[in-house]
Amino acid sequence: MIACLRLSAFNAPLMRLSLLLLWLAACVPVMAVPTLPGTDSVDASLAAAPSVPDPRNLDPEWWNYFVVGEDPEGKLLATRYAAFTKQLDSIAVSLTGEAHEDVVQLRASIERHFGRYKRTLQAPSAPAAPMPTMKEAYPLDDVLELGRENEQLRRAADLEAQEITLIERSLALGRNEQDAAKLRYRDLATDSAERTVEGVRLIRDRLRIETLNQELRWRRANQTALQAELDQHLKLLDTAGERIECTSSALAEWQRIEKDATKAAQNAGADLMKLQLTSSMALATSPDERAQARYHEVKSQRRSVEIAIAEARRATAVLAQRLLQRVAERNTAEPAADRTLLRKQQALLDKQARLATEQRARANQLRSAITIEREASDEPSVNALYERARNELAGVETALEDLSAQLRSGAQLVDMLDARLREREGRMGQSVRLLKDAVRGSVAEAHSLLGTPLFEVNETPVTTLGLLRLGLILTIAWWVSALMRGGLQRLGPSYSAFNAASLYTVGRVLHYLLLTIGIVVGLSSIGVDLTKFALFASALGIGVGFGLQTLISNFVAGLIILFEKSLNVGDLIELQSGVTGMVREINMRATRITTGDNVDILVPNAEFMSSKVMNWTLEDACRRLHVPFTVTYDTDKDEVRKAALAAAHDVEHTLLHNPAREPQVWLVRFGDTGLDFELVIWMNLRAARKPGSVMGDYCWALDTRLREAGIEIPHPASPPPKAAKPAEA
């Protein structure tokens, strides 16, 4: 310092730099000196240790106080912790009130966390798994035992992974909370009791976080060891599966297991039937009866699980026998039969697996129901029955564990037999089989989805597949009807003996008949009993009464029109409203009429029954047309007749060569401006269906002939001129 002052006399900037360096050295805290491995004594380590953490003024590196390096027996850590707790006790004594109580409680929590932290530091690392010894040949039972051990290792590894995940989440949450606590601690006054309590809480939380860190490192090391052991067991299992030996005694044992499993399934099935017949919760009225029924219900569930165990054991025995036989035959037999057997037994095992899931859920429900009902009862005899039910339920859970183990053995046998079959099939055979399995699986999945009941009709479940079948049958009926109607339409022009209207009527009747047959066959195909359709008939009657009466009336009116033949397709009709058009279709609800402007009008069939309809072509398609015209009074009437008849012959629509229907010219009245005539002609079949354009053709030809003959058509009389108003004065 003196040297720096002397130097500052010569250089002021150097003086300022020296002072800055001295200030920084005073502000930097003394860093913790880590304990080196191999320290001779605890006292030497204490001499180099950092100071005891003070909750009132925590140093940023206060945690280094508890980092002791190598301390096999934990003496150094215990000594430091004792010094810390001594200081913490003195701080607690100096506080009063709520702050004192908080520090005392935190002191107890720190004690617990420190014990756990010390145990995690001293926890031994997971031992390395010994390498299993390979054998030249393995009995099938040993291979299955290896599979069970492998499953236990896998479950242990999964459980370790779940624990690691939980610890990581707890660490993340703890670090976030500690960061927030540090900010609160920093903002509190140095000499306040709140800062002291917050400092003790920071120490407790940091101790908990470091304990979790130690446990996380230990569990990760344990997980690595478990995974290595699992990999070794997998290799051993693969090798053992390839070195299975077949003996006559092993085959005989598996045959015995199959017979015993079959017998056990039959016995359990008989017991289950008796239990189901003798017990029912719906018939239980008193508490004693309900408890007895609940006990029988649990026993029934146990018998169901026992049946599943026997079925799984039988499937396992069948697979084991087939695998041993293929081993004995050195995998030379054709794989088709074994592949079918494998698929069948795998389906049985899958069924039992689904049943196990359902029974496990049912067991949980029964446990809750028994607990609730037992708490609600005070009778000793009833409680004894519920206690028996709980003991039986424990047996159900044990049986479910046995079922799970049996299913795992079955799955292992499925994999081993499948590997042998794939080896025998080769790559090409595997490709073909996988394609077949994919197609079969898709079809089965689609059939399962389509076979799910959607609703019921008269106590008959209706599925999507049934609805598709019904739609297909109706489509076929509609298609056959369309073919027959098309054939009838083509038959009409070919044979003049057939009336087009009659053919149309026959086509419509066939259409309705085929649709009715299609509906009946379709409903029968989905299982609907048509003999029990009284409910549907009554519902239909109600529907007609409330909203379908208009539809039914139009349908019946359409049938009457078809059979009565008062209207036929192709008829020219005029409605009461003045609409004129040609009948195109007579449908179930309405009749389609096309006007001369090619406008389609749908007229409800019931309207033809309740209003007046003029049918211009009902009996005879030829109709008479009156074309009025006027000439001046000084015109020769005979010249008028000649010109009008010539005009009638000029138009192609005129019906000629029929003496009873020759064109005529009538003088009908003496008009205001001249003589009023009418050209009366009969039109042929084609012209009768388009009166508007035909009238225009006759007027055109008549005007042409009259002009050629020099006959004048008078103009309408002009109205008299209005009188002029008198001029205003």
- Whether the predicted pLDDT of 553 surpasses 80: no
- Whether the predicted pLDDT of 388 surpasses 70: yes
**Rounded to whole angstroms, how far apart are CA atoms 339 and 326?**
12
Region 427-438: mean pLDDT is 73
Nearest to 676 by CA among 685, 684, 666: 666
- Whether the predicted pLDDT of 17 surpasses 70: no
- Whether the predicted pLDDT of 724 surpasses 60: no
Quick: pLDDT tens for 70-102. 776 778 888 888 888 898 888 888 888 898 898
**Rounded to whole angstroms, how far apart are CA atoms 43 and 202?**
28
**Which amino acid makes up residue 461?**
P
What pLDDT is recorded for position 260?
A: 93
Nearest to 310 by CA among 359, 264, 254: 264
Nearest to 232 by CA among 365, 362, 97, 134: 134
Quick: pLDDT tens for 445-454. 777 777 777 7
- Whether the predicted pLDDT of 316 surpasses 70: yes
What pLDDT is recorded for position 545?
A: 56
At residue 125, what are phi and psi to the nearest 5 degrees? -75, 155
Q: Are 338 and 422 in contact (CB under 8 A)?
A: no
Q: Which residues pair with 582 in a beta bridge?
A: 572, 594
- Whether the predicted pLDDT of 459 surpasses 90: no
Q: Show the tokens assigned to 711.
A: 């006959």
Select, from the ranges 78-82, 436-440, 595-599, the one with the highest average predicted confidence (pLDDT): 78-82
Q: Which residues pair with 677 in a beta bridge?
A: 629, 667
What pLDDT is recorded for position 446?
A: 76
Give the model's confidence band at 237: pLDDT under 50 very low, under 70 low, under 90 confident, else very high: confident
Nearest to 402 by CA among 315, 314, 311, 305: 305
What pLDDT is recorded for position 14?
A: 40
Sheet strands (E) in 229-361:
none
- Whether the predicted pLDDT of 385 surpasses 80: yes
Considering Cα of 283, then 289, then 293, then 294, what sign does the dihedral take?
positive
What pLDDT is recorded for position 28?
A: 41
Q: Are 440 and 346 in contact (CB under 8 A)?
A: no
Percent of the chain with pLDDT over 90: 14
Give the model's confidence band at 355: pLDDT under 50 very low, under 70 low, under 90 confident, else very high: very high
What is the widest separation between alpha-carbon atoms in the chain?
A: 159
Considering Cα of 467, then 471, then 472, then 477, what sign does the dihedral take?
positive
Could you state, in order of their start, the residue ranges of all structural domains in the chain? 31-239, 246-441, 624-708
What pLDDT is recorded for position 352?
A: 92
What pLDDT is recorded for position 386?
A: 85
What length is written for the chain? 729
**Rounded to whole angstroms, how far apart are CA atoms 309 and 303?**
10
What pLDDT is recorded for position 685?
A: 66
Considering Cα of 680, then 686, then 687, then 689, what sign does the dihedral take?
positive
Segment among 33-47, 256-270, 428-442 with least mean pLDDT: 33-47
Residue 125 buriedness (CB in 10 A; 0-12 / 13-18 / 19+): exposed
Taking the model in full, what pTM does it have? Answer: 0.54
Sheet holding 600-604, edge to edge: 600-604, 590-595, 580-586, 572-574, 614-615
What pLDDT is recorded for position 80?
A: 87
Considering Cα of 351, then 357, then 360, then 362, what sign does the dihedral take?
negative
Q: Are 80 and 68 in contact (CB under 8 A)?
A: yes
Q: Are 608 and 561 in contact (CB under 8 A)?
A: yes
- Whether the predicted pLDDT of 7 surpasses 70: no
Q: Quick count: other Cβ atoms within 10 Å of Cβ 549?
A: 11
Region 588-593: mean pLDDT is 82
- Which ranges constitute the DSSP H helices of 567-690? 605-610, 637-650, 685-688
Cα 41–Cα 42–Cα 46 angle in degrees, nearest 5: 125
- Whether the predicted pLDDT of 168 surpasses 50: yes
- Which ranges constitute the DSSP H helices of 526-669? 534-543, 549-564, 605-610, 637-650
Select, from the ranges 360-369, 430-439, 611-620, the one with the highest average predicted confidence (pLDDT): 360-369
User: What is the average pLDDT value for the chain, to the nearest integer?
Assistant: 79
> To 10 degrees, what angle do helices 637-650 and 691-708 make?
130
- The domain made up of 624-708 has a fold known as Alpha-Beta Plaits (3.30.70)
- Higher pLDDT residue, 628 or 625? 628
Helix (H) or strand (E) holding 31: none
> To 10 degrees, what angle do helices 287-328 and 248-278 make?
160
Q: Show the tokens assigned to 521.
A: 């066959």
Quick: pLDDT tens for 493-547. 665 545 666 677 777 778 888 888 888 888 777 776 666 555 555 655 665 555 5
Cα 681–Cα 684–Cα 686 angle in degrees, nearest 5: 135
Quick: pLDDT tens for 649-686. 888 888 777 777 888 888 888 888 888 899 898 877 66
- Whether the predicted pLDDT of 307 surpasses 60: yes
Considering Cα of 63, then 68, then 72, then 74, what sign does the dihedral take?
negative
What pLDDT is recorded for position 538?
A: 61
At residue 663, what are phi and psi to the nearest 5 degrees? -60, 145
Quick: pLDDT tens for 179-215. 888 888 888 888 888 988 999 999 999 999 999 998 8
| Rg value, the chain, Cα | 53
Give the model's confidence band at 723: pLDDT under 50 very low, under 70 low, under 90 confident, else very high: very low
Q: Which residues lie closer than 8 Å to 304 by C-beta, 6 or more apart?
A: 272, 355, 359
What pLDDT is recorded for position 537?
A: 58
- Whether the predicted pLDDT of 24 surpasses 70: no
